[in-house]
Amino acid sequence: MIVALIIACEVGFWVLLAVGLGLRYLAKMPKASVAVLLCEPLLELVLFVTTAIDLKNGAEPDWKHGLAAVYIGFSVALGHQTITWVDARVAHRFFGGPPPVKPPKYGMARAAHEWRTALRWMLAALIAIVLLQGAIWYVGDDGEIGSLRQWQTKMLFAIGINVVIALTYTLWPKQEPERARSSLPR
């Protein structure tokens, strides 16, 4: 049941996004669009409550409960960015909006971009870790919490990967190609 609900929440996210963007650009109803997009966090709330009820009713914590916590963490931390990203592309591609801003390619500007991205992913992982810890405390010593601990370990691994990626851009920033630098006006 939990996996089906996670899938339903993901599908619901994209349906709400499509309806919200349709209201904004096709129906010219920006306030209604915002209202629809603000309903998206309700999906995570339903998933959170359903997972808590499932555990309360004696379900043995397993990978599905951990996946629900991870999904919620990533939706909370990355949902707004995803909506903004899709909105910019839909506006440009179909409704004459300006081209989306591309991330910097070189130097410390790229490193700063990578750190911002890494921080969003680290926030997502930290939210998941906190939710998983809450589930561990909720279940208590009587339940089998090994799968929840494994998810926490995976989230720590995700944090580590993001730190390494951002750190590589900081320590070894990608340099602009020589011919592009030589063609710049002086």
Confidence band, pLDDT 50/70/90 cuts, at residue 178: confident
> What is the helix, strand, coil percentage profile of the chain, to 5?
80, 0, 20
pLDDT for residue 141: 76
Helix pair 146-171, 63-95: axis angle to 10 deg: 40
Q: Which of 136, 137, 160 is nearest to 149 (CA)?
A: 136
Looking from the CA of 177 toward its CB, the CA atoms found within 13 Å total 3
pLDDT at 180 over 90: no
Across 18-36, average pLDDT? 97
| Residue 64: both structure tokens together | 């599905």
pLDDT at 183 over 80: no
Q: pLDDT for 140-157, tens place per residue? A: 877 789 999 999 999 999
Across 46-60, average pLDDT? 92
* CA gap 162, 118 in Å, rounded: 5
**Percent of the chain at pLDDT exceeding 90:** 87
